[in-house]
Amino acid sequence: MTASHSGFGALLRTWRDRLSPADAGFTVTPGRRALGLRREELAQLAGLSVDYVLRLEQGRAKNPSAQVVGALARALQLSRAERDQLYRSAGLLPPQDGTISAHVPPSIQRLAVRLGDVPIGVFSADWTLVWWNTMWSALLGDPAVLPTAERNLARALFGNGAAHASMLPIRSERGQDAFEASIVADLKDAVSRYPADAQLDRLVHDLRGVSDAFARHWATGTAAQHTTDRKTIQHPEIGDILLDCDVLIVPGADLRMVTYTAAAGSSDAGKLDLLRVTGARTVTTLP
């Protein structure tokens, strides 16, 4: 397929102008002239450089990757039909039915933005992180510094790459074995529902080859439901933080929204407040 560069850029500008900064998590200050997102705000949300977004809008950047188009679609809070239109205008086939979707509905993004004081990460059915807020980055490190394929919880737990190396020490009150078993059970369920998904097949193949624990859970594990857990996160700057971890299922979208909270007035809530003030680590952007 051949990209329609002017069409792609026009869509980016149109949808950037349409999206309310407040719905995207930005504070609207008096005197702001832009009704929609500024170019630098879109770049920040998509994990791209401002210059690259400018070149895409002007048609000077050719053939954006599926990774870039997907990130822009999520940042612009596009509907599924609009997402597919953006892919086609870039000369790419939209994500096919029967494969795991990384699409985060606009309503879910708006909900997560309004809960900005809470660390939130949104994961697809194969436990790939597809959306996160600044509090998630502040608590657990910035996922943008990782290659896209490494932004996966199963790779962080069982792999031997960048995801595993960057994962902070975390202790689960349910026990590490039970937590690992629940993630493997989710992947087994995903395989049964998405048998043609090549990325999922590669993930399972890779992890069975490098992790005895993964192979054991895969061979013997049974369905393991997610329940509220308490986790102690060893943060490199403020020390241990004990938080409640909840996994919320998004009906109809096959997504998991993971949240971390602490009881109001507790010392751990105070540590989250400190992270909220200091903010997330510096974001590393794509070209």
* Per-residue model confidence (pLDDT) at position 28: 83
Q: Which domains, and CATH codes, for the chain?
A: 5-89 (1.10.260.40), 106-278 (3.30.450.180)
Please say if the pLDDT value at position 287 is more than 60.
Answer: no
* Per-residue model confidence (pLDDT) at position 25: 86
Please report, as a single letter, which amino acid is at residue 6. S
Distances (CA, A) of 153 to 82, 149, 204, 207, 270: 28, 11, 12, 12, 27
Q: Give the predicted TM-score (pTM) of the model.
A: 0.82
Mean pLDDT of 161-169: 94
Distances (CA, A) of 67 to 41, 73, 97: 18, 10, 17
Question: Considering the chain, what is the average pLDDT of its residues?
Answer: 89
